[in-house]
Structure 1
Amino acid sequence: MRLPPIAPMLATPGSLPPAAEDTRWAYETKQDGQRAVVYLPGDGSVTLRARSGEDITAAYPELHALGGALGTTPAVLDGEILALDARGRADFQLLQSRMGLAHAPGRAARRAAEVPAHLVLFDVMHLGGSPLLPVRYARRRRQLEELDLAGPSWSTPAAIVGHGVQALRATREHGLEGLVCKRLDSVYEAGVRSRAWIKIRNMRSEDVVVGGWLPGRGRLTGLPGAVLVGQRAAGTLRYVGGVGTGWSEGERLRLAELLRDAATDVCPFTPVPPVAGAHWVRPLLVGEVRYSTRTRAGMLRQPSWLRLRTDLTPEQSSADLPDDSV
């Protein structure tokens, strides 16, 4: 059967729905992977398309067996492709080694043996020849669960109706990326970033020591476009990333003055990070940053600036790398 192309529905960043509306929403774990629309024409084949519409089927050979999971029933499903770490949690850094191999099936097969992918399914947009886009989420979800799609490389995690506060707390306690809130009466808005789906990303905050900066461009010429930050590990200051967002105009101007006063020709990080165009400063300034997760090498993902900690010296701060990042 020829299936219609469907662009995935997107969630809007936000917060939990009001408590009075809690039972009108379902809550799903926010996954840290690659979005995929799954086309099952009912002939034993499968096509995976990324959010961009690119055919990525060849990049994930372990998912090809999904083509026969529904027999001759055609379907279009929505999901996320993950790579799991040793603790069973999604690790985007691991997944990056699998992405971009759609035109290199030999390399994809070798990487699949080393870093297996897992597909989690959370919606159905077309089933048995019938479009489900105008059908409410609650009914679509029931139909998806009735398909009983659980296999060696794919699964259908549960959604919880109500109990949003507890669901969000659980994602934080288990170190998961966050939560997606979906209104039970919402239709599937293909290609739309909708308020009917709300995504909440769990963010962490820590102290860091500023060791350098990169000059801004355009209207930021002469000002820091990003600061280079580190944390202590084994008696040295280790580079953990660049932070380029989170300042007001006044805060950026103030930071520029402090960075100029602390200028040095000596890089304070060990080892010296390969950052082109960096200006080094003596490691005197402490800041607090917010970030989503760390890479396995200890680098901060999606960091943003919270505040300058003028109340702390580097020695007084808690700017230390966690043990498992050293």
Structure 2
Amino acid sequence: MNSSRPRSRAWLCAAALLLALAGPSCVLAKAGPEAPPLLLAEVLRGDVDVTRYWVSEKLDGVRAVWDGHALRFRSGRPVHAPAWFVAGLPPEPLDGELWIGRGHFDQLSGIVRRKQARDEDWRRVKYMIFEQPGGAGIFSERIEHIRRIVARVDVPWLQAVEQFRVADRPALQAKLDEVVGSGGEGLMLHRADAPYLTGRNEALLKLKPLFDAEATVIAHLPGQGRLTGMMGALQVETAEGVRFEIGTGFSDAVRRAPPPVGTLVSFQYRALTKDGVPRFASYLRRREAF
């Protein structure tokens, strides 16, 4: 047998386990955090009976899940909130958005991503609750339970998202126009009789004047004219393999330091062509790995 034959990493780690009490063990790369199973929204399309749904404003925040002990982003990574913020949360699991107001996503993102929380910043943050993970009963019943939890805890940074009903499609459109006209993103519709579900499901729908999606940056295209020396457009690819360019929606600061190749970015668009290419795509932001 050739004693110089390299041994596999798995073999070495198995051997190291036998020596764990006697010395250092094989060091493995730590697995990433496990993302909690959550309910994800479909886009409202077709002839949906909107009277079967509770409606709420779609908040431009950062989703966070409270399991009764720890606050985490949807990726599973911990939210480094101040101790007083977490201490005010109840023992029941909650699902909601960290939010500071319409049109302030970038400021919020900067606050919640910091590993060293700043009290003065977090005093502006509210945890807006719209679901109770694992909660019993239909959504209408979970709404009432969420309201009771928030009232019992009685801290200003924990709030229940306002849920309301509409009489018909024109009433839903009027509410959408009102919210968007005031700087909001759109509306969410949650089917009133739905049990607690996870995964992408039509029990939860989103309604916006523009669609949004995500794609991976595959190239930077140079700018011309006023944009000479800066990025002119991003070439991106969707998860379905559709490639196209995004040339609008960028500030000059982003054009000078564009999202690196391989980065996931969010964009808005009006419709899809017959080939599945987003029409009038406009850059929104870099998709943060919360």
TM-score, reference length from structure 2: 0.58
Alpha-carbon contact 1:8-1:78 (below 8 Å) kept: no
SS of the counterpart of 1:144?
helix
Flag the 1:181–1:275 CA change in 2: closer, same or farther, 3 A. Answer: closer
Q: 2:70 maps to which residue?
A: 47
Q: Which amino acid aligns with 2:60?
A: D
Q: 2:204 maps to which residue?
A: 197
Tell me how far 1:47 sits from its aligned partner.
2.0
Q: 1:75 maps to which residue?
A: 92
Answering whether residue 159 of structure 2 is matched by residue 155 of structure 1, we say yes
Answering whether residue 244 of structure 2 is matched by residue 244 of structure 1, we say no
- What is the distance in 2 between the residues matched to 1:96 and 1:168? 25
Tell me how far 1:119 sits from its aligned partner.
0.7
Alpha-carbon contact 1:62-1:153 (below 8 Å) kept: no
- What is the distance in 1 between the residues matched to 2:158 and 2:259? 42
Matches within 5 A, 1:144-223: 144-149=146-151, 151-162=155-166, 163-190=171-198, 192-203=199-210
Flag the 1:229–1:120 CA change in 2: closer, same or farther, 3 A. Answer: farther
Q: 2:104 maps to which residue?
A: 91
Equivalent residue for 1:273, pick from 256, 267, 270: 256
Q: 1:258 maps to which residue?
A: none
Answering whether residue 53 of structure 2 is matched by residue 25 of structure 1, we say yes
SS of the counterpart of 1:158?
coil
Q: 2:279 maps to which residue?
A: 306
Q: How many residues align?
A: 216
Alpha-carbon contact 2:55-2:189 (below 8 Å) kept: yes
- What is the distance in 2 between the residues matched to 1:196 and 1:189? 8
- What is the distance in 1 between the residues matched to 2:43 and 2:75? 23
- What is the distance in 1 between the residues matched to 2:177 and 2:221? 32
Tell me how far 1:118 sits from its aligned partner.
1.4
Equivalent residue for 2:138, pick from 122, 133, 136: 136
- Per-residue CA shift, 1:45-85, capped at 9, x if unaligned? x52122122332x3344522423xx5xxx411111112x2x
Q: Which amino acid aligns with 2:210?
A: M
Q: Which amino acid aligns with 2:76?
A: G
In percent, how many aligned pairs have the same letter? 21
Flag the 1:240–1:195 CA change in 2: closer, same or farther, 3 A. Answer: farther
Equivalent residue for 1:12, pick from 33, 41, 44: 41
Q: Which amino acid aligns with 1:178?
A: G
Flag the 1:305–1:245 CA change in 2: closer, same or farther, 3 A. Answer: farther
Aligned-residue Cα RMSD (Å) equals 4.3
Flag the 1:167–1:152 CA change in 2: closer, same or farther, 3 A. Answer: same
Tell me how far 1:99 sits from its aligned partner.
3.2
TM-score, reference length from structure 1: 0.53
Alpha-carbon contact 1:78-1:123 (below 8 Å) kept: yes
Alpha-carbon contact 1:27-1:161 (below 8 Å) kept: yes
Q: 2:81 maps to which residue?
A: 59
